Amino acid sequence: MNAIELVGIRKAFNRGLATEVWALDGIDVTIPAGQVAVFSGPSGSGKTTLLSIIGGMARPTEGRVRLDGQDVSSYSERFLTVLRRMRFGFVFQDLHLIRGLSALENVMIPAYPLGNDWHPLRDRALSLLSRLDVVHRAATRVEFLSGGEQQRVAIARALVNDPPVLLADEPTANLDSALTTQFLGILESLSGDGRTILMSSHDPAVTSSAVIQRRIAMHDGRIVEDR
């Protein structure tokens, strides 16, 4: 079972200073493999922080994270990284594509440290781009792509190592309604592959979408509703 379990997760910033904040304040949640879930809630409720902790990009101040029953909370950075690149694909709110590189190179970059052969890797990246309908832009430098194209490149990049879990932070924040619909279509197809998809969003178009199987509402670092 490819489940993500969070137990008693708390996260403080600026601990011990006057500016101390508890971005997360006791999160207990289990997400079974293959589920499409969205964390919603007002700004500052801790959605981004929670996704970073799940994805191994930040450590909880307290609490445990278990992946498939394995406690990874005290993993060293090196092994968190290994875990991250095998298990998680990220789509950041600001996309964070690397300017100056082509769409194709951006998609391939997460796989570089693995040392796989180049041609199969490029073919996989191209097939992802074509599945996401941007293959015609593969050789274009990313800064010349439109917002929607950029996002699809970012999704392709998140998928290049074929991770079982996709994490997306506010994926539709910069998209118009047509592109949002298109994005939800992509989600549906990815979910069809059996991938777990976790998102944060306060976009009603997303939270009310039929693709979403579970809606978790947050407030002040706590889960207030889960259905």
Ligand X SMILES: Nc1ncnc2c1ncn2[C@@H]1O[C@H](COP(=O)(O)OP(=O)(O)OP(=O)(O)O)[C@@H](O)[C@H]1O
Residues at the contact surface with other proteins, assessed by CB under 8 A: 48, 51-52, 57-61, 73-79, 81-82, 84-85, 90, 92-94, 96, 98-101, 105, 109-110, 112-118, 157-158, 161, 169
Please, what's the largest Cα pairwise distance for the chain?
54
Q: Residue 224 corresponds to which amino acid?
A: V
- Interaction of residue 91 with ligand X, rule CB under 6 A: no
Residue 161 or 200: the one with the smaller Cβ distance to ligand X is 200
How far apart CA 63 and CA 148 sit, in angstroms, is: 37
Nearest approach, Cβ of residue 52 and Mg ion (Å): 10
Helix, strand or coil for residue 186?
Answer: helix
Q: Report the partner that residue 140 touches, choosing among other proteins, ligand X, Mg ion, none (CB closer than 5 to 8 A by kind).
A: none
User: Residue 44 touches which of ligand X, Mg ion, other proteins, none (CB < 5 to 8 A by kind)?
Assistant: ligand X
Task: Report in angstroms the alpha-carbon separations of 30 from 36, 138, 198, 209.
Answer: 12, 38, 12, 21
Pick from 31, 42, 19, 15: which is nearest to 196 by CA? 31
C-alpha distances (whole Å) from 114 to each of 59, 79, 80, 93 are 24, 14, 15, 26
Binding at 46: pick from ligand X, other proteins, Mg ion, none (beta carbon under 5-8 Å per type) = ligand X
Q: How far is the CB of 223 from Mg ion (least distance, A)?
A: 16
Q: How far apart are the first and last CA of the chain?
A: 21
45-84 residues in contact with Mg ion (CB under 5 A) are: 48
Q: Work out which of 2, 3, 7, 21 binds ligand X, going by CB under 6 A.
A: 21
DSSP tag of 51:
H
Q: Closer CB to other proteins, residue 117 or residue 210?
A: 117
> Please, which of residues 33-62 interact with ligand X by CB under 6 A?
41, 43-49
